[in-house]
A and B are shown apart, each in its own frame.
Chain A
Amino acid sequence: MADFLSFSHMSKTYPGVKALSDVSFGVGKGSVHGLIGENGAGKSTLIRILSGDTAADTGEIAIDGVTQHFSSTRDAFAAGVVVVHQELQLVPGLTVAENLRLGRFPNRAGIIDFRSLKAEVNRRLQEIGLSIDADTKVARLSLGERQMIEIAKAIMLDARIIALDEPTSSLSSQESEVLFRIIGELSAAGKVIIYISHRLDEIFRLCDGCTVLRDGKLAAHHPSMAEVTRDSLVAEMVGREISDIWGWRGRPAGEVRLKVEGITGAKLPRPIDFEARAGEIVGFFGLVGSGRSELMRLVYGADPRHSGKVAIDGADSSGASPRRSIREGLVLCSEDRKFDGIVQGLSVGENIVISARRHFSPFGVLSLRREADTAAEFIRQLRIRTPSARQNIVNLSGGNQQKVLLARWLAETGVKVLIVDEPTRGIDVGAKAEIYELLYHLAEKGLAIVVVSSELPEVMGISDRILVMCEGRIAARYDRAQFNEHAILASALPDRTAGEPNKKAS
């Protein structure tokens, strides 16, 4: 059978990155095809080219044997290609109906026919099995509902090819089931579905075949899933054994460097105690919403404390402000790199010295020489991959941006306690291993390190101790010898049957 959708020799280069190189594969009519790979493997680039959002340097897309030339998303729509992006593309101030037909309002002489718009949208929503009213403003919908609207948008366009980028990431399991049913109906109707997901179980459940990308290249193409196993896919994605990327090694723990006692805040009404010793890596695990990041922000002084004490090296750090904390040697590397981490538009070098520069800027006059030396030193030490310190930071990969952030705090003199929130979110395996190595190195130098992560294997892989948070309190504490995936996860899950919090090890 000839392929309905085929990519041939697709290549795309961004400044400094070869995002896609010579990728060719095809997908048959009526099939659900998985597209997988690590972050930065080239999936998004391929999808952006398919959606007409960006053009390939070389290579061709053919649909039903006809070579396509997309110069905008409109062209792609016209050819029947719709991409449902991971970042939702809805206008919050407009209604569901308006969003669904945005760009294609039913109108007479520019005046919208709201009656037919509403009727049509309600009918289509019903067909799909969604009970959302067409007149609801999108701002009032839950994230999951918005995701379903986004998918309904693709269906309403009568697309021939629908690409879904991580569609279940914000869906509940019930909503996911609805989505899977819709996908089944679409493929039965002869549509081609390109399904991008990190969740391999979904790939196995839904897809007729799949393609693995790695470093912008085609790592494997499976027209059917018959011979494919979970392990073989993972191996193809990573291209190497991943048995031990953690590389944990024991360290003697020293004096208590950080002692938190009875801390409470607006979002954490119940007092929390914990401590971290010199040379120790303390992992904080918890589900989203368990209060991990909020706790760290309280400790750091980013949010106002209601009560409680934070002591660093035995000295009470009473002033609860980030400025005070930094001066006393406590730094927080926050969770959202883009939002409150890197300063976009500034160079790598500037981003490194932005905090430390006040130590070597007499009377506020910058010492460019010392700044350059400091930046160069950390770029070398942390192996930050950048053409030069003058490179704009937005051109760096996620992993290297993370290293720049760590460098920023390491450049501060006298850091005693380092809190890192989600240190490896959105970065690839290779860069993760380097970040871990860096954390071990810092711990060996005598820092107390607190790592917050929602990835259990990561927390278990790198921590000396794990504290599990659940619903705004520390639900359990484990030493490395007691680490047990099942037990840790169980204590992170809210226990609604038991009245009292079940104490595990303490």
Chain B
Amino acid sequence: MAFLKRLLLGEQGLLVIFVVAFAAVSIFVPSFLTERNMLGLFQSVVTIGIVACTMMFCLASRDFDLSVGSIVAFTGMVAVMASNASGSIVIGLITALACGTFVGFVNGVIIAKLRINALITTLATMQIVRGLALISSDGRAVGINDPGFYQLALSRFLGIPTPIWIMVALFCVFGFVLNRSVFGRNTLAIGGNPEASRLAGVNVDGMRIWIFTIQGLVCAVAGILLASRITSGQPNAATGLELSAISACVLGGVSLAGGRAAMTGVIVGVLILGIAENAMNLLNIQAFYQYLVRGLILLLAVLLDNVRSTGLGRK
């Protein structure tokens, strides 16, 4: 019992739970542990996984970003429309990346320089950007003219679809940035103690602007891949993504109070959400129940985290 407690409440508690859950699902859900299903699972978490990378930085610095879902939809839209209009996929992609970066930059400037609460700012940009996506497409899905665009999502390398490679690459990059770079350590510092960081000469405003800008850029990457996978720009795509991404981070032990984050945790958080959804699909459970289950998982994860941190506090 004590051993179990230590295992679950230790540093790697979440990982242990993940492994157990994965094993259980593999045994009890038929056709879960097949190559086909695994690839499908990974592909289904590409969007949320990519966005969670930078959401982690945002939360670690004590900020918040609700606009990610809208940015993903908008940049996907832009990528398709700009490609169609210019006849060049490259121009389309660059335009989309620039748009995402710009929205993130605007978020950052408003939050850091004009000192508007991040929740309010991104709540506003979330609606503004969603509005832009709807206006530019007149509310309809926009089809892709150049079949080359599909190839982004369809192409494979070593038998694994490109989007998965991109997600894994981003996991590695942001994991490295968080742990090994000045940027990453400063992010944790401004989340852990903003005043101390400011007095130590960290450019706190600059950091926050960068974090949101990068978040915008990464959302654009997710948006492009999503548009390619669903073969069109959908103005209503990725609704609710902001909450899923935050859930994944919180599941992974990122503190909403800032100052605490780990890439491995976030990856596990993303996979837990993906597995829950995937297993329920395989078991033909009605999609409506998935909301219920996702909510319960999130609640359990934060309760566990709470027990863990009070346990540590007593030591």
Contact = CB atoms under 8 A, between A and B. Distances in A.
Interface string A59-94: 000000000000001100100000101001111111
Given A91-B197, A91-B259, A102 B189 contact: yes
Interface in B148-205: 180-183, 185-186, 188-189, 191-193, 195-202
Contacts of B130: none
The A interface is mostly helix, strand or loop, or mixed, namely loop
Nearest to A77: B201
Nearest to B183: A110
A73 B197 contact: no
B252 to A, nearest CB: 15
Interface string A102-127: 11110100111010000000000000
A98 interface: yes
B202 A103 contact: yes
A91 B192 contact: yes
A50 to B, nearest CB: 13
B305 to A, nearest CB: 15
Contacts of B208: none
Interface residues of B, number: 21
A299 B200 CA distance: 44
A114 B197 CA distance: 19
A53 interface: yes
A414 B185 CA distance: 55
A91 B201 contact: no
A111 B188 contact: no
A264 interface: no
A85 B199 CA distance: 10
A419 B185 CA distance: 46
Given A110-B182, A112-B180, A103 B192 contact: no
A70 to B, nearest CB: 12
A262 B49 CA distance: 58
Given A89-B193, A91-B189, A102 B200 contact: yes
Contact of B185 (A77, A92, A112): A112
Given A91-B259, A98-B185, A104 B180 contact: no
Q: Point out which of A89, A91, A111, A114 has the most chain B C-beta atoms below 10 A from its C-beta.
A: A91
A374 interface: no
A153 B197 CA distance: 13
A111 B193 contact: no
Contact of A91 (B182, B183, B196): B196
Nearest to A107: B182
Contact of A102 (B191, B202, B260): B202
Nearest to B192: A91
Contacts of A107: 181-182
B180 A103 contact: no
Contact of A105 (B185, B195, B198, B260): B185
Contacts of B196: 88-91, 102
A94 B199 contact: no
Contacts of A104: 200-201
A53 B199 contact: yes
Contacts of B199: 51, 53, 73, 83, 85, 89
A80 to B, nearest CB: 13
B200 A89 contact: yes
A105 B259 contact: no
B6 to A, nearest CB: 19
Contacts of A93: 188, 191-192, 259-260
A102 B207 CA distance: 13
A89 B195 contact: yes
B307 to A, nearest CB: 18
Nearest to A89: B196
A94 B183 CA distance: 13
Contacts of B260: 93
A89 B185 CA distance: 16
A344 B281 CA distance: 50
B14 to A, nearest CB: 18
A88 B259 CA distance: 16
Contact of B181 (A88, A103, A110, A153): A110
Nearest to B196: A89
Contact of B188 (A88, A91, A153): A91
Given A73-B201, A74-B201, A94 B185 contact: yes
Contacts of A90: 193, 196
Contacts of B200: 73, 89, 102-104, 153
A37 B213 CA distance: 47
Contacts of B183: 110
Interface string B253-268: 0000001100000000
Contacts of B180: 111-112, 114
A181 B198 CA distance: 29
A414 B64 CA distance: 47
B315 to A, nearest CB: 10
Contacts of A105: 182, 185-186
B182 A94 contact: no
B21 to A, nearest CB: 28
A102 B189 CA distance: 8
Contacts of B186: 102-103, 105
A107 B192 CA distance: 21
A91 B181 contact: no
Interface string B67-82: 0000000000000000
Contacts of B182: 105, 107, 110-112
A88 B195 CA distance: 10
Contacts of B191: 93
23 contacts: A51-B199, A73-B199, A89-B195, A89-B199, A91-B188, A91-B189, A91-B192, A91-B193, A92-B259, A94-B192, A98-B185, A102-B185, A102-B197, A103-B197, A104-B201, A105-B185, A105-B186, A107-B181, A110-B181, A111-B181, A111-B182, A112-B180, A153-B200
Given A89-B195, A110-B182, 20 more contacts: A51-B199, A73-B201, A74-B201, A77-B201, A89-B200, A90-B196, A91-B259, A92-B259, A93-B188, A93-B191, A102-B189, A102-B196, A102-B201, A105-B185, A107-B181, A107-B182, A110-B181, A111-B181, A112-B181, A114-B180
Top 5 A-B residue pairs of the complex, sorted by shortest distance between their CB atoms: A89-B196, A103-B201, A91-B192, A103-B200, A102-B200
